[in-house]
Amino acid sequence: MYINREISWLEFDRRVLEQAAREDLPLLERLKFLAISASNLDEFYQVRVGGLQLMQRSGKILQDAAGQTPEEQLKNIRARAQEIVQRQYELMNTLLLPLMREAGVAPVPLENLSEAQLSSLGTLFMQQVAPLLTPLALEEERTITLPNLSLALGVELAGKDADADKSRLVVVALPEALPRRVHAACLEEDRYVLLEELSAHFIGMLFEGERILHCTPLRVTRNGDITVQEEEGTDFAWEMSQVLVARKFSDCVRMELPEDVDDAFARRLAQQIGAEEETICHLPGYLRLSDFGRMAEEPGHERLKIVPWEPNPPEGVDPSLSMFDNISRGDILINTPFESYEPVVKLAEEAAEDPNVLAIKQLLYRTANNSRFITALCRAAERGKQVTALVELKARFDEGHNLSQAERLQRAGVQVIYGVKGFKTHAKAMLIVRRENGVLKRYCHIGTGNYNEDTARIYGDLSLLTCEETMGADISQFFNCVTGLTQMRRFRRLYPSPAFMKERLLELVRAETQRARRGETARILAKMNSLNDPDMMEALEEASRAGVEIRLNVRGICCWVPSTEEGRRHTRIVSIVDRYLEHARILCFHNGGDELVFITSADWMSRNLDRRVELLAPVEDKRLARRAVEILHACMRDNVQASVILPDGSSAPVVPGPDEPPFRMQEHLQQQARKRARASGKNSRTVLVPHKPKNNPAV
């Protein structure tokens, strides 16, 4: 049974939102989940609604896997999205705002302030806000493009003695450089007013001689589903920069206004801004709820936050040794953020400084703002090493950041490749070639998550570090294929997409299906972010009917549930939403008792398997494979943060049985990581010290 992708996406957002209703969570943690759901909805409108509107306007009658046309999907989406928005504001207005007022972290309404306080705020507005504001007149013959997702004020003005019929419209964008929460000396400690309310109250100071008829905050969401047209002979970096410009002027897919705004004024604003009537959303409260989650990340108010979990030192990493020595002792599996990501960063930094390292190759999809990986690659190139970085410029909403990072790498002497034409390069791999006793040795990192030391503290991912010879040869071959655009041959360990991964996955699923039909034990355990590929779903459907035990942990989009009662008896699909974002992709096939375990950068989506460069890598060390499988089993045991995906695509929280103790997967993984660290004589404060490499010249 196929479920519409967009509805499944929104159902995931609903699961995130419901965390804000949990009374057992501290206030700022609940506010954070509310903010995440709002941010997810922003992305949904930019990417999915924008794309569907383009399809609708093209006139092509295309149906999704569930048989819905773009027009039908847009209708269903708007209804479901409206339900989520209503729930967001129900939680914000009736639950969270009263708690914020109690705790002293709620916005202060301007009507509650004294004349003296308002006077002080007026001075602050004129000195620190007004100089940054630029009123833009809205006229029929003039095109004004408001910044995507930014707050603005729509203002209707008239002369002191003029009739309202002769009014004019002005829009004032509120600069992102200014904080949304404005603190002032005239307010009590930690109290604040919102920038849009402050600006609206004093906006008349910018229009002397005119009357303010109406003033409202507003926000526009624009279509982000604009991609580069890759043509031969073009400057790809320049083409991508043009995509970023095009997004600024793309169609409006949503215009948000307060629900109490005057209808005629709202229609005039929408017409001038280019928002069609069906895109207007009237909200019963503050706009851009995503901003409120930042309080959970800022210092202070610790009583309103969850107690942080510190990353533990990874098993198999001795901080007194170099990372090369650590990896030489055996493969290492790191489960972040329960275990520290620092060894992966240190490997890159040591490679940059080690005179025996001759070459570094790395795939970069999303990196931190102040990326230590970028710094290490630049340092390595400056020291004369052969450094190659494939920077994916098509990483959605990170294109501008990746362009600037690529330019920095090029200035340092790094050989920069801008991905593979026609495909996104989403694989996570790093290869280091080191000379040891006259022989070249390869050290490899393969991961499920990005080379981003910031998100490694909040995303659940796996990293495999190895110097196994066959794996190193495969990674070398893979890099040569990607950078040299040579035809991919069969690998001995790896299965990259789009060439070999789907074929291998289907082969593994069908092998379990055949075993089940022969009456043998057959089982598939898998953890991923999304599932929507028709071929994979069809193979799973056959497997479920044959009696294969299927256990899936799909965090977000899940477009398949078994269509038969027989299949549903053998299948369980759960989604886990907890303090860390579930991001690791882990697969286990029973294989007649000789389990095959893999980690991968790819979800079971058509885009990953058919249109992206991805990697599927085996975990061959039996001890590490057992650890990976234990994570899969822990996902299925979770009865605290897990939801089960129901036959109609909706979801419901897993409820423990009467004699079943509560089990929370992420808490369990944190405890296991702590136990492993203690067993090896480490603690969470252990850090890797910089290693001074010895010269090891060729014999």
Name the residue ranges covered by the structural domains of the chain.
Answer: 1-103+293-307, 108-230+255-285, 323-486, 496-655
CATH class of 323-486: alpha beta
CATH class of 1-103+293-307: mainly alpha
Nearest one of 126, 114, 108, 125 to 190, comparing CA atoms: 108
Q: Which residues contact 203 (CB under 8 A, 6 or more apart)?
A: 153, 155, 172, 212, 215
Assigned superfamily of 108-230+255-285: Polyphosphate kinase middle domain (3.30.1840.10)
Helix (H) or strand (E) holding 28: helix 27-44
Count of CB atoms situated within 10 Å of the CB of 79: 11
Q: Tell me the pairing of strands 168-173 and 135-138.
A: antiparallel
Helix (H) or strand (E) holding 258: strand 252-258
Question: 412 exposed, middle or buried (CB, 10 Å; 0-12, 13-18, 19+)?
Answer: middle
Equal fold, 323-486 vs 496-655: yes
- Chunked into runs of 10 residues, the chain (699 residues) has average pLDDT values of 89 97 96 97 88 70 70 87 97 97 95 95 96 89 79 93 76 94 89 96 93 96 65 46 48 93 93 88 96 92 94 96 98 98 98 98 94 97 96 79 91 90 90 96 98 96 98 95 81 95 98 98 98 97 98 97 95 98 98 98 97 96 98 98 95 93 97 94 52 40
Q: Which residues contact 617 (CB under 8 A, 6 or more apart)?
A: 446, 464, 471, 493, 494, 495, 598, 599, 600
Instruction: Please identify which of the residues 426, 583, 590, 691 carries the catalytic annotation.
Output: 426
Residue pair 643/653 in contact (Cβ under 8 Å)? The answer is yes
Residue pair 552/560 in contact (Cβ under 8 Å)? The answer is no
Token digits for 296?
């959970």
Angle at 568 between CA 566 and CA 572, to 5 degrees: 145
CATH class of 496-655: alpha beta
Token digits for 319?
């901080």
Residue pair 496/613 in contact (Cβ under 8 Å)? The answer is yes
Catalytic annotation present for 426: yes
The DSSP line for 301-358 is -GGGSPPPPPPBPPTT--TTS-HHHHHHTS-EEEEETTB-SHHHHHHHHHHHH-TTEE
Token digits for 59?
């006139």
Return the HEC string of 199-252.
HHHHHHHHCCCEEEEEEEEEEEEECCCCCCCCCCCCCHHHHHHHHHHHHHCCCE
Amino acid (one-letter) located at 478 = F
Burial 211-238 (b: 16+ CB within 10 A, else e): eeebbbbbbbbbbbbbebebeeeeeebe
Bond prior to 690 in cis (omega within 30° of 0):
no
Residue 190 has a pLDDT of 81
> From residue 6, how far is each of 53, 317, 383 by CA, in Å?
13, 42, 49
